[in-house]
Amino acid sequence: MALTPVARSSLSDAVFEQLSSEIVSGALSPGDTLPAERELVAVLGVNRGAVREALKRLVQAGLVDVRHGGGATVLDYARSGGLDLLPRLLFGGDGSVRVEVARSVMEMREALGPQMARRCAQRRGADHLRDMRAALAQMRDSPDDLEVLSVHALELWQQVVDGSGNVAYQLAFNALRTTYEEIRGALVLALREELVAVDTASALVDAVAARRSRDAEQAAARWLRLGSRGMERVLAQLEASS
């Protein structure tokens, strides 16, 4: 395990980042035991308080289990972790995108989005609809600017999720949005077909406005499918080149 001394500006954060990276990268496997606190303090060049705080965060993230007198044991994060791990899992140790994680994110997005839209049509408030229409208007004003389209499409989806009134959907969207921000530059090109489909986005907004939940679900599915198709082409190219 290659750990290095960390700067003292944010000690516990830096310790957490190093240890969590070792776990999600596979350098530490489920069942492995982390070094004792005393050893971590010496290797990382930090105080014991920073190490203990980092260990607490690792426990909260579902990455380790700490038992009194037994040290910290690495867990199988696929069974114990939460959605907040997605951004960490997206990149390998060499900085390359993990194709299987990116594909999983796109599959989750395509599965959840239509359900979010259906609930939004049933539960949305006037403010959600107003903000959806505002985001859609911004998309219509910049039909060829992928960066602008991506920003306002994401805002439109934020309102769909908020309008769903489902906190589980909101938390899942937060994880997806954070992951998206990690590779926004690459995704903008991959999602081009989806981003320029403003008429499909408009159909979604119209269905939500009319509270036609089934139509909203179908429009969302059509819209997201365009992006999934483009992203799959990119992922297939990455697999072929690896």
DSSP the chain: -------GGGHHHHHHHHHHHHHHTTSS-TT-BPPPHHHHHHHHT--HHHHHHHHHHHHHTTSEEEETTTEEEE--HHHH--GGGHHHHSB-TTS-B-HHHHHHHHHHHHHHHHHHHHHHHHH--HHHHHHHHHHHHHHHH-TT-HHHHHHHHHHHHHHHHHHHT-HHHHHHHHHHHHHHHHTHHHHHHHTHHHHT-HHHHHHHHHHHHTT-HHHHHHHHHHHHHHHHHHHHHHHHHHHHH-
The predicted model scores a pTM of: 0.84
Does the pLDDT of residue 7 top 60, yes or no? no
State the pLDDT at residue 94: 76
Query: Which residues, listed in sequence order, are joined to residue 91 by a DSSP beta bridge?
Result: 97
Q: Percent of the chain scored above 90 by pLDDT?
A: 71
Q: Percent of the chain scored above 70 by pLDDT?
A: 96
Superfamily of domain 86-241: GntR ligand-binding domain-like (1.20.120.530)
pLDDT band at 59 (very low <50, low <70, confident <90, very high): very high
- CATH for the 8-81 domain, from 3.90.230.10, 1.10.3720.10, 3.40.50.970, 1.10.10.10: 1.10.10.10
**In this structure, are residues 18 and 6 in contact, taking their beta carbons and an 8 Å threshold?**
yes
Task: Report which of 109, 82, 58, 92 is spatially closest to residue 232, judged by C-alpha positions.
Answer: 109
pLDDT average, residue stretch 41-52? 93
Half-sphere exposure of 142 (CA within 13 A, CB side): 15
State the pLDDT at residue 171: 94
pLDDT band at 40 (very low <50, low <70, confident <90, very high): very high
Whole-number Å distance between alpha carbons of 172 and 157: 12
State the pLDDT at residue 111: 96
Task: Report which of 115, 215, 127 is spatially closest to residue 173, judged by C-alpha positions.
Answer: 115
Query: Which residues, listed in sequence order, are joined to residue 64 by a DSSP beta bridge?
Result: 74
State the pLDDT at residue 5: 66
Does the pLDDT of residue 3 top 80, yes or no? no
Domain parsing of the chain, residue ranges: 8-81, 86-241
